[in-house]
Structure 1
């Protein structure tokens, strides 16, 4: 059964529990990127427009069921105040005795944010008892946390099952529609760019891509097992030895299906990953002993940019190198720019690649910038997401 969304639910004057994804990066208690906060503002404002009392909840980091003040949501409450232009009540504990009374005293359009749900072990344990306690605060449940939809956690899976009136938020709706378009309505040539990360983490995605994409461009640590499988040395580059066999099988599979897997032709290499490290360019795909591949080289950038220019549909996940370190950001920037300049349907997903897009201020030139890292990858490979399944029926 298709899920409903907040604009289809009866929320007039109701107490609405919105599960958000405020898992934002913090440095010394300060938010360094508030994309995920801004992304849920339309859902919150829609609930306010219906005179709802709005109860917000989220996780932040991995406190492992214990209070960790460095992972408090208080900075998020302060940022919400700026965007919503009104006071945001903050509860230090989602199980506090006074929460029900506070909600009772709230006026229509008021907003309450609970402290980090993961301060309680019941959240990650998908505890029915923990979910039951949260359910007492609201009449309607809304999930706007696409980035957490792949987690079978209490506020994502157990809680919505306790509500008859439930649905997705406007962000969840936008994410599902944008990613579904990649699966069902893509226009060829469909080019997928994968970088960073481990091959073993993305085997299912790689197999799904080989079934549907026309061309797969690989960079970063994702490329090294494939280069090794083709007989090239990769020096001291980050390499999962067990992934070499997987890469070999995937190359054979792609060949049978006439899908192009394009690998780097050259690299920027160094003996250590540092801003002042000695950097060399390799003349070929091979990386010398004692050196690490830390970015794709200029020949690779040119080849990838030419392929991306002709694409009609593009999905990008994962940087081409260690873009946080200045000497090794050229490849990631060039790929981001090439995709941003494409007039087709372009989607970027994954924390590092999204961070790169924002770093280079290219976010407005993409068709969709996904807030879901693992969730977007699992959705694209056809894995049912617990947070979405729980909204059905």
Structure 2
């Protein structure tokens, strides 16, 4: 049986089509963090799609239309979510003029005046309520803007939105951009053609958000390393009293079943043996390290302890493929970030093929200063999670496919 990830890797890429003289619409992911003055603090997602844009420029596309979202506006246009704030950074990185347009109708008029190297940036597509509803009318209007549709927004490839999914019904040629192909190739290497042993490092706050993942990968991995607040539920299920720590009581039985399934598949599970605890997250007075069996009454676990870090690091050192999704503690707070940052260093310094599953984990790796040492850092948190869960991402589902003999 061909796996879903192999199926997705069989889509056509930009290199499989001729863009010369064609109108190209690229769905990009410019959902970048900005401060209160609209200064971009991290332009990684813009840089990630530059090879796709430059390829279209170098191969004489008639026009290039860039469509993206920014943030999650609720009631139409909001200044803080305007892509106008991205325009200057994009122009600087491309070293090309980028024309910013507010309306689809205006873009349609300009797009008919075809000339090589004309680049358009459309205002935040989520300002249109039809985007998240996958509205056929919006999908059709977007499709009219191009001869070739390129999806290079991996971060939203798990969404059935008009610009990532619906548009494919209204364009005859639809392919994946280079970023999308790099993402799927990286995860294919880790999941379908791994050098064993393979370790999955899972963290974050809730087991409920990762249960599908834990079940899906059980037959693929050799080691399962569980940290973060979600490990509290596993520890509680094993009989430890985690006191005021975040525990999902409704998932205690589920945690036991995951551990039993791991045992049945000969998957070695690693859980914290000591934790950093505090009397308060917002205004801590007492912070200490304690074995998991000795969490003090009224205290809560906020990070893994040094003995756990040593245990996890030894498991990582003896792995050849490592996938990491989810921090080990409340890394956003300096006092509770050591476990996550030191684990990032341990993984970065291993000789393994290493993948970070986007989102908070990618942010933590960046802050730990270890970004350049990882084999691959995904640009999509939710998308990478669903990919690991074995799902076919909607962003790949209706793209043209290569003819496989």
- In structure 1, what is the equivalent of residue 177 of structure 2? 169
- In structure 1, what is the equivalent of residue 40 of structure 2? 31
The yes-or-no answer on 1:4 pairing with 2:17 is: no
The yes-or-no answer on 1:272 pairing with 2:251 is: no
Q: Deviations over 1:87-119 (max 9, x none)?
A: 2111123x2x32122223453122111111111
The yes-or-no answer on 1:347 pairing with 2:355 is: yes
Return the match for 2:248 from 208, 215, 240. 240
- In structure 1, what is the equivalent of residue 83 of structure 2? 73
The yes-or-no answer on 1:47 pairing with 2:47 is: no
Q: 1:358 Cα deviation (Å)?
A: 1.0
Q: Contact (CA 8 Å) 2:221, 2:267: kept in 1 or not?
A: yes
RMSD: 1.5
| Inter-CA distance 145–229: structure 2 relative to 1 (3 Å threshold) | same
Partner Cα distance (1:237, 1:67) in 2: 40
The yes-or-no answer on 1:62 pairing with 2:103 is: no
- In structure 2, what is the equivalent of residue 288 of structure 1? 296
Q: Deviations over 1:343-386 (max 9, x none)?
A: 12110013111001111221111111001111111112211111
Partner Cα distance (2:205, 2:60) in 1: 44
Return the match for 2:101 from 73, 91, 98. 91
TM-score, structure 1 length as denominator? 0.96
- Paired residues for 1:355-374 under 5 Å: 355-374=363-382
Q: Contact (CA 8 Å) 2:173, 2:400: kept in 1 or not?
A: no
Q: 1:179 Cα deviation (Å)?
A: 0.6
- In structure 2, what is the equivalent of residue 123 of structure 1? 131
Q: 1:65 Cα deviation (Å)?
A: 5.2
- In structure 1, what is the equivalent of residue 324 of structure 2? 316
Q: 1:77 Cα deviation (Å)?
A: 1.3
Partner Cα distance (1:171, 1:205) in 2: 23
Q: Secondary structure at the match of 1:30?
A: coil
- In structure 2, what is the equivalent of residue 110 of structure 1? 118
Q: Contact (CA 8 Å) 1:301, 1:335: kept in 2 or not?
A: yes
The yes-or-no answer on 1:224 pairing with 2:235 is: no
Partner Cα distance (1:37, 1:359) in 2: 19
Q: Contact (CA 8 Å) 1:237, 1:291: kept in 2 or not?
A: yes
Q: Deviations over 1:27-69 (max 9, x none)?
A: 2122222211111011111111111111000111211351122
Q: Secondary structure at the match of 1:82?
A: helix
Partner Cα distance (2:95, 2:192) in 1: 39
Partner Cα distance (1:267, 1:197) in 2: 15
Partner Cα distance (1:277, 1:27) in 2: 30
- In structure 2, what is the equivalent of residue 15 of structure 1? 23
Q: Secondary structure at the match of 2:164?
A: helix
Q: Contact (CA 8 Å) 2:278, 2:284: kept in 1 or not?
A: no
Q: Contact (CA 8 Å) 1:267, 1:285: kept in 2 or not?
A: no
The yes-or-no answer on 1:375 pairing with 2:372 is: no
- Paired residues for 1:249-268 under 5 Å: 249-268=257-276
Task: Give unmatched runs, 5+ long, in structure 2.
Answer: 1-6
| Inter-CA distance 115–277: structure 2 relative to 1 (3 Å threshold) | farther
Q: Secondary structure at the match of 1:302?
A: helix
Partner Cα distance (2:193, 2:383) in 1: 20
Q: 1:204 Cα deviation (Å)?
A: 1.2
- Paired residues for 1:333-344 under 5 Å: 333-344=341-352
Partner Cα distance (2:278, 2:141) in 1: 54
| Inter-CA distance 283–379: structure 2 relative to 1 (3 Å threshold) | closer
| Residue-pair matches, total | 391
Q: Secondary structure at the match of 1:42?
A: helix
Q: 1:129 Cα deviation (Å)?
A: 0.6
- Paired residues for 1:292-303 under 5 Å: 292-303=300-311
